[in-house]
Structure 1
Amino acid sequence: MTLYNVPLLMVLSFLGLTLVVGLYGTQKAITFRKYAVGNKRFHTTTLVITVLATACGGGMLMRELPNIYKYGIHHIAFLLIINAMKDYIISLLGFRMGPFMTHFSIAETIGSVYGKYPRVIAALLSICFSIGVVAIQINVMSLAIGMCIESIDPRIVTVPATLILIVYSMFGGVRSVTITDILQFITIPIIILLIIKFVFVKIDKSFLEVALLIQKQEKFQFSRLFQFDKKLLTVFLNSLWYGFFLYPPVIQRVYMSSGPIQAHKVFLRFTRFKVIILGCIALISVLVFIGDPTLPLTAIWPYILADILPVYKGCLVIGLLAMAMSTVDSSLHTASIMVSHDIVESIRGVKSVSYVHQLRLAKLTTLVLGLLAMTVTIYYPDLFKLTNFALTFLISFFVIAVIPPFILAVFGFRGSTRTALIGIATGTLVYFYSERWIEPAIGIPFKFFALIANGLAMIAAHYLLSQPADKGWTGNNNQQKRMQQLIRVFKKYKKSIELE
């Protein structure tokens, strides 16, 4: 074996280890609940790790590096602030999820408040969302392999990697997904620290020299944050739009929590760690810019990988594979729940579906959707084209149609089916109109306002149209009031200890 084959051997060993760990975590599910959300006795740290592994996919690293390089301090500020805000909102949602903690998915929560048709829409759009995310991550795996192991066709490794995660996701359910997420998450800080080291060595400058050079670069000067222009507005609206991308697999971790308090703790800690990871990604991009401020965006990764020893290339491709695989398996698992639970119950109109049939359908769904996502990557081998297609046709519709009614429901709004459908239709029309006419005319992204239109249309429909007597806003229930009292008491106790 030549030294050049070391990365391939390292990747194959990692894939074999992932398969062994995933199958080791397989446990026969005696109920569909156990397959979907486990025993709801996961340790808080375990849930934090699996949320981080799911949210921090390879696509995030591949996408944000060039964005920060291109937009500078504006993108860094909005990236950190908007993501912290989004994840904090999820922690608030988790705290108020008491009435819905027995559910399996976001679609079931939508259905419990708004009825069957919104539930079906939410499930179908969640499935489309998952296909888009899985296709992007598979493309990231192929791209990472192609960059680091140039001697082989990337598909030789990408296809087995995808089949491996499909296998353990099918048979192990949420337990296997969680265990492999822990393994895969270990590689995330390793890859980020390695990239920082490589780029820092490449530019051959001290931290003080880097800081002085950054101050001289107009793109990264803090004073630019307060210079309002059309470019700044575009970056802000895009960041705000992505800030409402509440991934179904991430929301799924709320239902895996033992209760609202644990869900609240999980996402508070997740918010802190994710901001640190994003800060490290921003540092990498800044260092690359200091090293060469004239690079085209497509040359950023070749610049990082130039002159790196094969063993380190193997570490990098393993890290990117792990980041992508941890997102893919969670997305496939969530989509399988939507099909076997939400779609089936909505069509049959009953809740008592045999768990054996549900499990079989969930496993078949995992297989079919995984293979379908692989097919999508064949037609869209370019990552940026695939991302644009997925965002436009698969992911955006879920965000526009599902997120506003879900947030309203969690915060106490109880609307009718008609109210929800009016909001979904309004948000979708505003999105189509903005994509077709407004954005090309003014050059400013208008998609975020489709979310606002959905929520406002639902509230307007509720108050302008006749509604059943049981619909409207609900206050905090007794459980939520007790939790708020316990949190206040705990904070006072903690503060008194600190004063002593």
Structure 2
Amino acid sequence: MLRLYITQKATTFREYAVGNKRLHTSRLVTTFLATLFGGGVLMREIPNVYDKGIVHIIIIGSFFLHIYIIHLLGLRMGPFMQHLSIADTIGNVYGKYPRMITALLATSCAIGFVAIQINVMSSAIGMCMDAIDASMVIFLATLVLVSYAIFGGMRTVIMTDLLQFVTFTIVIPLLIKFVFIKADKSFLEAISLLQMQEKFQFKKLFQFDKKVLNMVLNNLYYAIAFNPAIIQHIYMSTSPIQVKKVFLRVTLWGLIISGGIFLIALFVFIGDSTLLKEEIWLHILTDMSPAYRICVVISILVMTISTGDFALHIAAIMVSHDMMESMRGIQATPYIQQLRLSKLIKLVGGLLAMIITFYHPNLFALTKFIFEYFIGCFAITVVPPFILAVFGFRGTASTALMGMAIGILVILTWNHWVQPKIEIDGKFIAIISNGLTMVAAHYLLFQPPGKGWIEPDDQQKRIKQLIQAFKKFKKSIDLDSVVIKS
């Protein structure tokens, strides 16, 4: 039944957007991993680990604490599971204007992610065709990505993600083997060499280093800076229980895949510790047989197409569903109209992403730009009202808009006057300011009836009881095993 469902075309916008919530947990885990580990991660994080060492390994590893935190929120998402997006939830709680802002910012984030994938695709294509013009490569990469994204909804996303999962299980181990052989060092020699490098020593984490401290504080907001691509997997799930399963499994598999990426970077460093970040992939592919090189390039292309396809899919949902309903006040738009608009949005979004890529051809500069402005603005503006809503807060549109405005004002003020002096980014402070402003405005200003904190619904109470019962059952099993052993 599931296989038949995936191969059929969607007949409603709900099917097109979230797969009609009939996806098996393993399929959701695969789709989620494909979203997290796009080609940009492979192309970007190997050089970053090579350059920054143990500090960057810890930062990337701690990202999965962020995934674990979201699973705790997912257990309280019962009242919102029938929504199609985070903008849909924001609109349900705070009204149409916060919904429009959320949809606009989420669309911007999606286009930013697509720009990163186009950049990676152009780099991958350039690995095989050195003589071709860079602008032509970017245009070709955009054409391939947008063409693929336009021809389907969640159906094509899942099919591509399944193919990308194959790249995780084949190409990453293949790269580990290749760079280890190329390093021409035994395990003992490799460990001895790393022990002599200060940036790969664990004691560096416990030394008071202003540069390291600033890096950690600057990445602190990632613990709660949920981006639309991650949150969308909650709405694709059947229930909060499935959300818990999906996010916990993604945390485990994500750490395993990250470990493989770290090993590639470490073996490259062992082989040659004098490379620049921009030279690392050239070093990896040098001396690789044409068949292996083509396999690696195709795998990177599959990764980028999968992640870019999902990002364009999110942009299409935000515009054709959330923004159009907010602007027109229509709750039921014909599916064929939404589908046509979605395809148009994918085309326009791809072209906008291509323009961004032209202005930022360097992958590291582009990634910093996207995360600094696009993801940062979304996190500061949308995450606090979303978290409050999940925990039972029901505010007005003015309350949410005040919090959003204060969050933006705080980050602008902080980055203009404070950050140049202490070199610490203010996004985490801005997120907290947004949430506190909303709560303060609710209690200090007049509020209409029905607003404020609500009690957990029956579904949330049942989930909590099931979790407590499972913990007691597990504890009783552990005690019985201790008694038997004694």
Aligned to 1:485: 465
- State whether residues 26 and 173 of structure 1, in contact with CA within 8 Å, keep that contact through their aligned partners in structure 2: no
- State whether residues 168 and 177 of structure 1, in contact with CA within 8 Å, keep that contact through their aligned partners in structure 2: no
Aligned to 2:209: 229
1:297 pairs with 2:277: yes
Aligned to 1:77: 58
Gaps of 5+ in 1: 1-23
1:194-233 mapped onto 2 (5 Å cutoff): 194-233=174-213
Aligned to 2:321: 341
Aligned to 1:260: 240
Cα 1:35–1:231 shift into 2, 3 Å = same
Aligned to 1:64: 45
Amino acid at match of 1:118: P
1:362-441 mapped onto 2 (5 Å cutoff): 362-441=342-421
- State whether residues 44 and 363 of structure 2, in contact with CA within 8 Å, keep that contact through their aligned partners in structure 1: no
Match of 1:321 among 301, 309, 325: 301
1:1-16 mapped onto 2 (5 Å cutoff): none
1:54 pairs with 2:35: yes
Gaps of 5+ in 2: 482-486
- State whether residues 39 and 117 of structure 2, in contact with CA within 8 Å, keep that contact through their aligned partners in structure 1: yes
1:37 pairs with 2:53: no
Q: CA deviation at 1:437?
A: 2.8
Q: CA deviation at 1:371?
A: 2.2
- State whether residues 98 and 260 of structure 1, in contact with CA within 8 Å, keep that contact through their aligned partners in structure 2: yes
1:80-91 mapped onto 2 (5 Å cutoff): 80-81=61-62, 83-91=63-71
Match of 1:183 among 163, 167, 192: 163
**Aligned partners of 1:328 and 1:111: how far apart in 2?**
26
Amino acid at match of 2:205: L
Aligned to 1:17: none
Cα 1:289–1:434 shift into 2, 3 Å = farther
Q: CA deviation at 1:267?
A: 0.6
Match of 1:172 among 146, 152, 155: 152
Identity percentage over the alignment?
Answer: 58
Aligned residue for 2:151, secondary structure, equals helix
1:332 pairs with 2:312: yes
Q: Which deviations, in whole Å up to 9, do the C-alpha atoms of 1:156-189 show, x marking residues without a partner?
A: 6654554344334333211111111111221123
Amino acid at match of 2:33: L
Cα 1:177–1:471 shift into 2, 3 Å = same
Q: Which deviations, in whole Å up to 9, do the C-alpha atoms of 1:127-171 show, x marking residues without a partner?
A: 111111101110011112223442544666654554344334333
- State whether residues 26 and 172 of structure 1, in contact with CA within 8 Å, keep that contact through their aligned partners in structure 2: no
**Residue range with higher mean Cα deviation, 242-251 or 68-77:** 242-251
**Aligned partners of 2:439 and 2:189: how far apart in 1?**
55
Amino acid at match of 2:331: K
Cα 1:187–1:151 shift into 2, 3 Å = farther
1:275 pairs with 2:262: no
Amino acid at match of 1:364: L
Q: Which deviations, in whole Å up to 9, do the C-alpha atoms of 1:20-55 show, x marking residues without a partner?
A: xxxx96633321111111121101000000000011
Amino acid at match of 2:357: T
**Aligned partners of 1:428 and 1:109: how far apart in 2?**
21
**Aligned partners of 2:144 and 2:468: how far apart in 1?**
46
Aligned to 1:4: none
Aligned residue for 2:330, secondary structure, equals coil
Q: Which deviations, in whole Å up to 9, do the C-alpha atoms of 1:57-116 show, x marking residues without a partner?
A: 1222222223222322222122212x1210011111221110001100000101111111
Match of 1:286 among 238, 260, 266: 266
Aligned to 1:99: 79
Aligned to 2:8: 27
- State whether residues 113 and 414 of structure 1, in contact with CA within 8 Å, keep that contact through their aligned partners in structure 2: yes
- State whether residues 415 and 472 of structure 1, in contact with CA within 8 Å, keep that contact through their aligned partners in structure 2: yes
- State whether residues 65 and 285 of structure 1, in contact with CA within 8 Å, keep that contact through their aligned partners in structure 2: yes
Cα 1:157–1:379 shift into 2, 3 Å = closer
Amino acid at match of 2:182: K
- State whether residues 135 and 358 of structure 2, in contact with CA within 8 Å, keep that contact through their aligned partners in structure 1: no
Cα 1:214–1:276 shift into 2, 3 Å = same
Amino acid at match of 1:43: H
**Aligned partners of 2:439 and 2:109: how far apart in 1?**
26
**Aligned partners of 2:135 and 2:358: how far apart in 1?**
10
Aligned length: 476
**Residue range with higher mean Cα deviation, 272-281 or 149-158:** 149-158
Aligned to 2:434: 454
1:242-253 mapped onto 2 (5 Å cutoff): 242-253=222-233
**Aligned partners of 2:174 and 2:148: how far apart in 1?**
29
Aligned residue for 2:371, secondary structure, equals helix
Q: CA deviation at 1:274?
A: 0.8
**Residue range with higher mean Cα deviation, 309-318 or 292-301:** 292-301
Cα 1:434–1:288 shift into 2, 3 Å = farther
TM, length-normalised to structure 2: 0.92
Amino acid at match of 2:305: M
Aligned residue for 2:21, secondary structure, equals coil
**Aligned partners of 2:67 and 2:39: how far apart in 1?**
19
